[in-house]
Structure 1
Amino acid sequence: MRVTSDLWVSAMLRRVFASGGYGAVVRRGASEAGAIFIVVRSRMGEATLYAPRAQSDYGGARPDERIFSAVLEAADDAAIEARLEKERRFDTDLWVVEIEADQRLVDELL
């Protein structure tokens, strides 16, 4: 059974804070099943935007885990905001979460 978006984001932020990182919900979406977009900032200020993978990537099974892929790497804020605005026109219930964490944790989470 897949957990709600609200619970998943809360758990992810707890793991980020526990590892010494920082995170914040920039935009709160639908608590049940809103799509989650994650902006990961490096300590050098570079940002990468991660988006949920397409349903076709899951195959025939219904996944218990969420799978993300980088859609913008080393992007500036304007490019990230433009992409998120495009996504908001398609899905108004999406979440946007920004984190700054150790790369090992990011790899594990996403």
Structure 2
Amino acid sequence: MSTPRLKSKMLVQAGLRQCMALGLMATVVRSGDDDAGTVYLKINRLGPGFTILALARELDGSLRWRSRTGAVPVPEADADAVLEKERRIDPDIWVLEIEDREGRNPLEDALFF
């Protein structure tokens, strides 16, 4: 029997609430398929650059955030190019932009996802 999965829209809404609870500014910059769109985080470090993270399911069924831009923040144009490439492959993606000078993923430990 497979594990039930939350719908993408609910995941994004939960992410917005988590950011609000942590005092971080977050905005949905792209809405995808309510049920099954892949969720991406665009973390804006407010100067040093951006990081794109994708929520991906591992082979064992667990969820993990994977960097799509590498370990070092990239310019916004590069981050947007990664998201555009993903959108061309799957037009149903969700993008949640989070502003955090430290570049933290506020949802890393909140795997209610």
CA deviation after TM superposition for structure 1 residue 41, in Å? 1.5
Matched with 1:6 is 9
| Structure 1, gaps ≥5 residues long | none
- Counterparts of 1:30-109 in structure 2 under 5 Å? 30-53=33-56, 55=57, 58-59=58-59, 61-63=60-62, 66-72=63-69, 73-101=72-100, 103=104, 105-109=106-110
The higher-RCO structure (CA 8 Å, 6+ apart) is 1
Structure with the higher fraction of residues in helix conformation: 1
TM-score, length of structure 1 as denominator length? 0.81
SS at match of 1:67: strand
Distance 2:106 2:54 in 1: 17
How far apart, in 2, do the equivalents of 1:79 and 1:44 lie?
A: 14
Query: In the TM superposition, what is the alpha-carbon distance from 1:45 to its structure 2 partner?
Result: 4.7
Normalised TM-score (structure 2): 0.79
Partner-residue secondary structure (3-state), 2:106 = helix
Match of 2:23 in 1: 20
Structure 2: gaps (5+ residues) = none
Inter-CA distance 45–34: structure 2 relative to 1 (3 Å threshold): same
Length, aligned pairs only: 104
Name the stretch that deviates more: 6-15 or 42-51. Answer: 42-51
> Post-superposition shift, 1:96?
1.0
Q: Percent identity?
A: 31
Structure 2 CA distance, aligned partners of 1:47 and 1:4?
A: 26
Return the letter of the residue paired with 1:9: V
Conserved? CA contact 2:65–2:108, under 8 Å: no
Secondary structure of the structure 2 residue equivalent to 1:99 = strand
| RMSD between superposed Cα atoms in Å | 2.1
